[in-house]
Amino acid sequence: MKKSVHTIAIRMWPEEEPHKVAKIVPYPDGGYAVLVPYHKERSGFAAKFAVDYKKVRVYEVDEKEYVSFGADERVKFSYHTSGFAQFSGENPRTILSGREGDQIKGVGILTQPPHIPIKTGPTLGLLFWGIDEFDALPPGAKAEVFGEGDFYHGGGPELTNACLIEIFHFETRFWSAVRKSNDSYILTMVFQMSEAAGAARELRVLELPGQSFFLGVLVSRTRASFEASSGWVINGPSVITDQHEKIGEQIVAFYPKEAVPGKTISGSINFSPPTQET
């Protein structure tokens, strides 16, 4: 089952064709990147915001908690073996990124290394809506296709218009619980720190060859209420900054910019080459 790249496609409704929404690319030196190269929109924004770990359910983040930066090109999410997680350019030299020592350039955080998984929930969340505006998966093309029988939180078209993909990390010792189902590999897990605490859930397994962890993917149909007809959100991992108060920070990217009209943008993460002195 070893694959170097995983293309993720969604068949939102049984009568529809699948559409490609994301691509997971392992790095040769460990870690991986998540790209969304299958949509026409290129401009969006990335942000860092405060997280209250005492709240289990989804809650609204106050506008004041965001520090947002505009981007004229698509970003990718990068997660390195050091625990450095960031948004960098889908194409080189388009988005400010990287770090020098403890100084982070662009939008990123230093959190747990990917091979030391977060135990309380997903490491990464991807939200897609208007999926029919993403590139269709060509007939016969290989991809991890998720459809009717894979979704949680189901409902009819009048209730759901979006798809949430949650990505969990697991140490390789969990391979002992992986089984094959049709053409996919499945891991059944129970998460206590969730709204459905105690319920068993089946995750699609994606291997990262040569790495000491693998990914488990959980897909749900849900509802999005953004202004744009189609787009996506990448919710990156978080890190605790105050152990006593259980407060931390998290990174997120929204595409297109029009998805959140009136959003206050603090600056830009567009890459600008250094000027040469004459």
Q: What is the 3-state secondary structure (H, E, C) of the chain?
A: CCCCCEEEEECCCCCCCCEEEEEEEECCCCCEEEECCCCCCCCEEEEEEEEECCCCCCCCCCHHHCEEEEECCCEEEEECCCCEEEEEECCCCCECCCEECCEECCCEEECCCCCCCCCCCCCEEEEEECHHHCCECCCCCCCEEECHHHEECCCCCCCCCEEEEEEEEEEHHHHHHEEEECCEEEEEEECCCCCCCCCEEEEEEECCCCCCEEEEEEEEEECCCCCCCCEEEEEEEEEEEECCCCEEEEEEEEECHHHCCCCCCCEECECCCCCCCC
Residue with tokens 């000491």: 212
For tokens 């990464």, name the residue. Answer: 124
Per-residue pLDDT reduced to its tens digit, 41-61: 999 999 988 887 776 554 444
Q: What is the pLDDT of residues 68-91, one digit of tens each?
A: 788 888 999 999 999 999 999 998
pLDDT of residue 92: 82
The answer to whether 244 touches 64, Cβ cutoff 8 Å, is no
Whose tokens are 């997660």? That residue is 79
pLDDT at 278: 47
**Dihedral angle computed from the Cα positions of residues 101, 252, 267 and 103, in that order, rounded to the nearest 10 degrees:** -10
Checking if the pLDDT of 272 tops 80, the result is: no
Q: What is the pLDDT of residue 274?
A: 62
C-alpha–C-alpha distance, residues 130 and 133, integer Å: 6
pLDDT at 64 over 60: no
One-letter amino acid for residue 216 of the chain: G
Q: From CA 172, how far away is CA 213, in angstroms rounded?
A: 5
Q: How confident is the model at residue 193 (pLDDT cuts 50, 70, 90)?
A: low
Per the CB < 8 A criterion, the answer to whether 105 and 98 are in contact is yes
Per-residue pLDDT tens digits for 11-36? 999 999 999 999 999 999 999 999 99
pLDDT of residue 271: 78
pLDDT band at 62 (very low <50, low <70, confident <90, very high): low
Residue 158's pLDDT band (boundaries 50, 70, 90)? confident
Q: pLDDT tens for residues 224-253?
A: 999 899 999 999 999 888 887 778 899 999
pLDDT(149) > 60: yes
pLDDT of residue 269 exceeding 60: yes
**Model confidence band, residue 267 (pLDDT cutoffs 50, 70, 90):** confident
Distance (Å, rounded) from C-alpha 234 to C-alpha 90? 14
Does residue 261 have a pLDDT over 70? no
Q: Phi first, then psi: what are they for 49, rounded to 5°?
A: -145, 160
Cα–Cα distances in Å, from 278 out to 9, 134, 272, 275? Answer: 50, 46, 18, 9
Q: What percentage of the chain exceeds 90 in pLDDT?
A: 60
Q: What is the CA radius of gyration of the chain?
A: 18
Q: Quick one: pLDDT band at residue 98, thresholds 50, 70, 90?
A: confident
Q: Is residue 95 scored above 60 in pLDDT?
A: yes
Residues 6 or more apart whose Cβ sits within 8 Å of residue 6: 23, 24, 144, 206
pTM of the predicted protein model:
0.90
